Structure 1
Amino acid sequence: MKSILKHTTLALALLAALPSCEVDRLPETSISDQTFWQSENDLKSAANYLYTFLPGWSGDDVWSDDAFGLASNGISDGSRLAPATDGNYNNNYALIRAANNILEKAPRALAATSQTIVDRYSAEARFFRAWGYFNLVQRYGDVPLILKTLDDSSPELQAPASPRTQVVDQIYQDLDFAASKLPTPTALGTADFGRISNTAALAFKARVALFEGTRAKFHSYGEPNKHLKIAADAAKAVIDSKQHDLFTGAYFDLFQMAGEGRQNRENILVRQYGVSQTDRVATHAYYRGTLENGNMNPTKSLADSYLMKDGLPITKSPLYKAPVQSIDVFKDRDTRMGDTFMKRGDPMMTTKPIFDIANLVFNKTGFMFRKTANIDDWNTQASTIDRPVLRYAEVLLIFAEATYELNGSISDADLDLTINRLRQRGGVAKLTNAFATANGLTMRDELRRERRVELAQEGFRYWDLIRWKTAEIELPKPVLGNFYFKSEFTGATVNLTPDNYIMVQAASFRKFDPNKDYLWPLPINEIALNQSLKQNPGW
């Protein structure tokens, strides 16, 4: 568990001296000292620093129609302005510079170690460089492509942004190198669980390619089929590797300590926190500080997307009955809904051991998220539950979607290989082409629905709306919450729709400008520093 961060103190001393902003303008630091880069341990120490950039648990779903916090969100409702600085920009360039530094200096260790070892840690660095660039191109589109460390006299400091096609191609090159040089999960074993594997590189390549392929398709640019084929091929390579499988336990336990470690083959890459309060590398307070406190709450839109167990949506299924009490919302539904949403009878927190109904003072939608909910963690505010960063379920979803978007169809065999394995653990009837036709369902919509519910609360929804070009349709809609059960909800005054659902934010307060909002604004300070860097349209 602690092997990744065993030598991080040294790495941080050498690498973290790099400020998070203006990273491409920094002079060399003490990491260039010739006493470093002399052994495999030095390479591992330097690479360990890169892992600190893996995302932890966050409230990013409030950017989308899946969640709402204690107050409106500027990304979700279209009210934000171009910022002076942006950590999403600066921190990713800090990661890229640290990765470039390793790639330049790792060969110095050849005097004491092998090319295989140098290649392995260079592959980790290239994975993280790809990670940083994908975060950037996802948000900003064209960005400066910097593949070496710079100093104050480097001409690249005044270079214009590189086209997104060039950046994405570089991401693929880095991930191909990583996939060819990194060990398999089996070779990493328990001792090195948490380090980047070859399947992590392939799974991430599939994620990048699906994003770029569908974005190019629905925004009408570039070569969508090129990227969709890359996505399908990379996802299939992970499937065919037989290195991973779905978690054999309950879906809820995927996000508890029961889902930790090498024994859970669904985990391809996680952000590690530890195994106990006494054996930990870091902690988080995500459950108490984000979920229970109301900083991210599920919406009616997300709740309505969960199927009935007969495989039909609530608008079509004869099983669906209008709820009379709050627990009725979960009756005969995909069981993943009850694993993702708090429901009556669930363990909750020290001061309220059993959940009954959401507190509308905090949980503005009348719903509360449940993934990672743990009474002990609420009490200590020091959880060590790992954050899944790449998991096998996402790979299955990528293969299904890429296959459909590439061919305009998907076979029942491929549905069984992917979507139906996920539906099975939710207790939902199989999806077939005949079932979809007979019930007036659209296959694309059902594939997207499956992705939404399987990956709910994990930060995917906003980016899916962006790549599908549906943000302009979904985000301006009003934000609605749970049905208002008058006998259960107490202690708060709320606005209601005519049909008695909680009105959290009216459509009149929400907007999405398709001419500008599909890209994020570049930080104003970065444009001031580099006159060749142009602001994104509309900002």
Structure 2
Amino acid sequence: MKITLKKAVLGLSLLAGLGACDVNRLPETNISDDSFWTSESDIKTANNYLYTFLPGFNNDDVWSDDAFGLAANTISDGSRLAPATASGDYNTPYSLIRAANNVIEKAPRAAVTPAVLNRYLAEARFFRAWAYFGLVQKYGSVPLILKTLDENSPELRQPGAPRETIVEQIYTDLDFAIANLPTITALGTADFGRISKTAAQAFKARAALFEGTFAKYHAKGDAAKHLTIALAASKAVIDSKEHALFGNYFDLFQLAGEGRQNKENIIVRQYGVSNTERVSTHSYYRGSLENGNVNPTKSLADSYLMKDGLPISKSPLWVLPDSSQKVFRNRDARMSATFMKRGDAMMTTKPIFDIANLVFNKTGYMFRKFANVDDWNTQNSTIDRPLLRYAEVLLIFAEANYELNGAITDAELDMSINLLRERGQIAKLTNAFAKTNGLDMREEIRRERRVELAQEGFRYWDIIRWKIAETELVKPVLGNFYFKTEFAAATVNLTPDNIILVQAASFRKFDPAKDYLWPLPINEIALNPDLDQNPGW
């Protein structure tokens, strides 16, 4: 898949997108139809282009209360304005939709069997669903385009479709994908990385959980309907037995966690297997983690449980640390795998980590996931980005179960949350344990999601769908304890209890009347007067 995709990308300039103003248009001159759409190889090549839209590494966690960068983020602190022109947030999904629609319309011309055709149509419909889910998350209502358009198409001036209509189309596309895609076992090593049946099921579960909890907590739509879909789809992935958790949490985000031998990864953005055999590369470690473009916050750090399964506010194991190393003592093992700590391998100019550099790591913490010394040296990492893991499916199963029924059994916890806790080397969660220790089961399920998926771009969307962004994002951004004998001399603001103050609450706001949806680009509204701006923008 990696080598095939590399060659396909190099030769697919004929499938490349147009400019921002042409977001929904695909002129006939973009592709030589008569000579191209004739064989399975042609369809597969066209579909390979869709895979280039899978997102690479980014710093989106700074939108949330999990991370902070080198400076304040306008989404996180509520200071952003409606953009004058469309950016990748709006244009890129429509470019993917256009490319998927093109395949859906033209692939039937090829001389292939119905089964082969449907397999590739299923891939295209998966990617169309992927793009529309991203648009719904951000904007709610957007134009629903299900065919390729030219400059005279009336759909170019159509209003945004109702949110529920778009979500139903997402489900319809994913159901077709589920029915026609091969299993990950059938794909095997040769086609590892292509979308599988369980990938479509797992993504359907993700979309349905988002929509179900958004409907429930924002009082918009049929929450039970979507949560039922999320529960069924996640259970289908579990029952397939196609996936399992990877043994080592840190290695899951290293080269050791790549490829078919890792049954936890369901969808990945592939980069390659080495610097000589690669699709592309990234410099996420040196360019984002070490340089401070994304740093963990105290809010995230405090979410990690002690080994006894209790939060730091309740556990007798928690002792106020007098050194940076003691922050990690008796904690969930995933914290040490996600945060840099004294003794970890770091980089050539500083082989062993001791303490974060406050010039770059403003919170006094530094992320460790995906950190690799060789990657720092070359700035050409081929570590893949996991986009959907089996761990997320287990979390969806637990959350959808609880949100739908108001309860979850110990057996259901054992087949989901407790598998993740076992890997984190912390005590099991049971209903009796929660009751005895005064824990809220919903909050513990949410906590588990936060720590398991930390630094993977989920937290912002979680606090949006749970409708708690208005509570969490207005809090001050805090960092590590300030260990004066360890940190290099730097100008730093501190709270009265000796915690690094990164951004005061007075500089942060969140308007629940408008900030739960993103503003549409102003130029898109100018191009299409029937497109309404989201409320408050």
Alignment TM class, shorter chain as reference: over 0.9
Q: Give 1:123's aligned residue.
A: 122
What's the CA shift for 1:466?
Answer: 0.2
Contact 1:206/1:234 (8 A) holds in 2: yes
Name the aligned partner's letter for residue 13 of structure 2.
Answer: A
Post-superposition shift, 1:338?
A: 0.3
Q: Distance in 2 between matches of 1:287 and 1:229?
A: 39
Q: CA deviation at 1:7?
A: 4.2
Deviations 1:454-510 (A, max 9, x none): 000000000000000000000000000000000001131100000000000000000
CA contact (8 A) 1:95 1:132 kept: yes
Do the aligned partners of 1:343 and 1:356 also contact (CA within 8 Å) in 2? yes
Are the equivalent residues in 2 in contact too, given 1:21–1:91 (CA < 8 A)? no
Moved over 4 A (4+): none
Q: Which residue of 1 aligns with 2:92?
A: 91
Q: CA deviation at 1:32?
A: 4.6
Q: Name 1:51's counterpart in structure 2.
A: 51
Shift of 1:158: 1.0
- Larger deviation: 73-82 or 150-159? 150-159
Q: Identify the range of structure 1 (5-14 vs 210-219) with the bigger mean alpha-carbon deviation.
A: 5-14
Q: What amino acid sits opposite 2:427 in the alignment?
A: A
Q: Structure 1: how far apart are the matches of 2:388 and 2:526?
A: 36
| Structure 1 stretch displaced more, 497-506 or 272-281 | 272-281
Contact 2:3 2:279 in 1 (8 A): no
Q: CA deviation at 1:27?
A: 2.5
Structure-2 change in CA distance of 1:474 and 1:136 (3 Å): same
Equivalents in 2 of 1:126, 1:185: separation in Å? Answer: 18
State the alpha-carbon separation in 1 of the partners of residues 208 and 77 from structure 2: 28
Residues 6 and 278, structure 2, Cα contact 8 Å, conserved in 1: no
Q: Deviations over 1:202-258 (max 9, x none)?
A: 00000000000000000001100000000000000000000000002x100000000
Task: Quote the Cα distance in structure 1 between the aligned partners of 2:508 and 2:193.
Answer: 40
Report the CA distance between 1:17 and its aligned residue.
4.5
Equivalences for 1:169-188 in 2 at 5 Å? 169-188=168-187
User: Does the Cα contact within 8 Å between 1:185 and 1:199 map onto a contact in 2?
Assistant: yes
Is the Cα–Cα contact under 8 Å of residues 65 and 477 in structure 2 kept in the other structure?
yes
- Report the residue type matching 1:76 in the other structure: S
Q: Give 1:381 shift.
A: 0.2
The answer for the alignment partner of 1:77 in structure 2 is: 77
Rounded Cα–Cα distance in structure 2 between residues aligned with 1:220 and 1:269: 31
**Which position in structure 2 is the counterpart of 1:393?**
391
Q: Any conservation in 2 of the 1:160–1:532 contact (CA below 8 Å)?
A: yes
Q: What does residue 192 of structure 2 align with? A: 193
* Contact 1:366–1:481, Cα closer than 8 Å, also in 2: yes
Contact map agreement 1:4 1:194 (CA 8 A) in 2: no
Aligned-pair CA distance for 1:290: 0.3
State the Cα distance separating 1:11 from its structure 2 match: 5.5
* Structure 1 pair 120–3 and aligned structure 2 pair: CA distance change class (3 A): farther
CA distance, structure 2, for counterparts of residue 466 and residue 254 of structure 1: 27
Alignment of structure 1 residues 81-160 onto 2, 5 Å = 81-84=81-84, 85-109=86-110, 112-160=111-159
Deviation at 1:119, TM superposition (A): 0.7
Structure 1 residues 331-373: Cα deviation after superposition (integer angstroms, max 9, x where no partner) = 0000000000000000000100000000000000000000000
**Equivalent position SS for 1:289:** helix
Q: 1:11 to 1:171 in 2, by over 3 A?
A: farther
Moved more, 302-311 or 32-41: 32-41
Determine which of 433, 441, 446 is the counterpart of 1:435.
Answer: 433
Which residue pairs with 1:19 in the alignment?
A: 19
Equivalent residues in 2 for 1:421-432, closer than 5 Å: 421-432=419-430
Larger mean Cα displacement after TM superposition, 138-147 or 21-30? 21-30
Give the whole-Å Cα distance in 1 for the aligned partners of 2:17 and 2:502.
44
Q: 1:420 to 1:21 in 2, by over 3 A?
A: farther
**AA partner of residue 127 (structure 1):** F
Q: 1:21 and 1:241, CA in 2 relative to 1: closer, same or farther beyond 3 A? A: farther
> Counterparts of 1:202 and 1:404 in 2: how far apart (Å)?
20
Deviates more, 1:47-56 or 1:84-93: 84-93
Q: Give the match for residue 8 of structure 2.
A: 8
Q: Does the CA contact (< 8 Å) of 1:7 and 1:48 recur in 2?
A: no
Question: Aligned partners of 2:335 and 2:536: how far apart in 1?
Answer: 39
TM-score of the two chains, using structure 1 as the length reference: 0.98
- 1:492 pairs, out of 490, 494, 498, with 490
Q: Is the 8 A contact 1:182 1:196 kept in 2?
A: yes
Matched, 1:28 2:39: no
Measured in 2, the distance between the counterparts of 1:334 and 1:17 equals 45
Alignment of 1:253-292 (within 5 A): 253-292=251-290
Cα distance in 2 for partners of 1:189, 1:83 equals 44
The code of the aligned residue for 2:72 comes to: S
Partner of 1:418: 416
Paired residues of 1:11 and 1:49 also in contact (CA < 8 A): no
- What do residues 185-212 of structure 1 show as CA deviations (whole Å, max 9, x unaligned)? 0000000000000000000000000000
Contact 1:12/1:49 (CA < 8 Å) preserved in 2? yes
1:410-437 C-alpha deviation (Å, 9 max, x unpaired): 0000000000000001110000000000
Q: TM-score, normalised by structure 2?
A: 0.99
For the structure 1 residues 3 and 177, does the alpha-carbon distance in structure 2 shift closer, same or farther, using more than 3 Å as the test? farther
SS in 2 for 1:495: coil
Q: d(CA) in 2 for partners of 1:193 and 1:61?
A: 28
> Partner of 2:34: helix, strand, or coil?
coil
Q: Secondary structure at the match of 1:35?
A: helix
Per-residue deviation at 1:31?
1.7
Work out whether residues 361 and 491 of structure 1, in 8 Å CA contact, stay in contact via their aligned partners in 2.
no
Once structures 1 and 2 are overlaid, which stretch shifts more, 327-336 or 28-37? 28-37
Identity %: 75
Q: Which amino acid aligns with 2:55?
A: P
Contact 1:4 1:195 in 2 (8 A): no
Count matched residues.
Answer: 536
Comparing 9-18 and 311-320, the one that deviates more: 9-18
Stretch deviating more after TM superposition (201-210 or 9-18) = 9-18
8 Å CA contact 1:274–1:386 kept in 2: the answer is yes
Report the 3-state secondary structure (helix = DSSP H, G, I; strand = E; otherwise coil) of the residue aligned with 2:388: strand
User: What is the letter of the counterpart of residue 246 of structure 2?
Assistant: F
How many Å separate the matches in 2 of 1:160 and 1:53? 25
Q: Quote the offset at 1:8 in angstroms.
A: 1.4
Task: Name the SS for the 2:12 alignment partner.
Answer: helix
Alpha-carbon distance in 2 for matches of 1:196, 1:267:
11
Secondary structure of the structure 2 residue equivalent to 1:508: helix
Q: Is 1:342 aligned to 2:340, yes or no?
A: yes
The reply to whether residue 60 of structure 1 matches residue 52 of structure 2 is no
How many Å separate the matches in 2 of 1:94 and 1:478? Answer: 38
Aligned-residue RMSD, C-alpha: 1.0
* 1:105 to partner: Cα distance: 0.1
Conservation of the 8 A alpha-carbon contact between 1:403 and 1:409: yes
Q: Is the 8 A contact 1:475 1:511 kept in 2?
A: yes
Cα offsets for 1:80-111 (capped at 9, x unmatched): 000022211011000000000000000000xx
Alpha carbons of structure 1 residues 11 and 411: separation in structure 2 relative to 1, 3 Å: farther
Residues 7 and 45, structure 1, Cα contact 8 Å, conserved in 2: no
Q: In structure 2, what is the equivalent of residue 325 of structure 1?
A: 323
Q: 1:298: Cα distance to partner?
A: 0.2
- Using the alignment, how far apart are the partners of 1:418 and 1:4 within structure 2? 36
Distance, in Å, in 2 between the alignment partners of 1:520 and 1:396 is 29
Cα distance in 2 for partners of 1:379, 1:91 equals 31
Change (3 A) 1:26 1:185: closer
Shift of 1:21: 4.8
Which residue identity does 2:101 align to in structure 1?
N
Following superposition of structure 1 onto structure 2, how do residues 478-517 of structure 1 map, counting pairs within 5 Å? 478-517=476-515
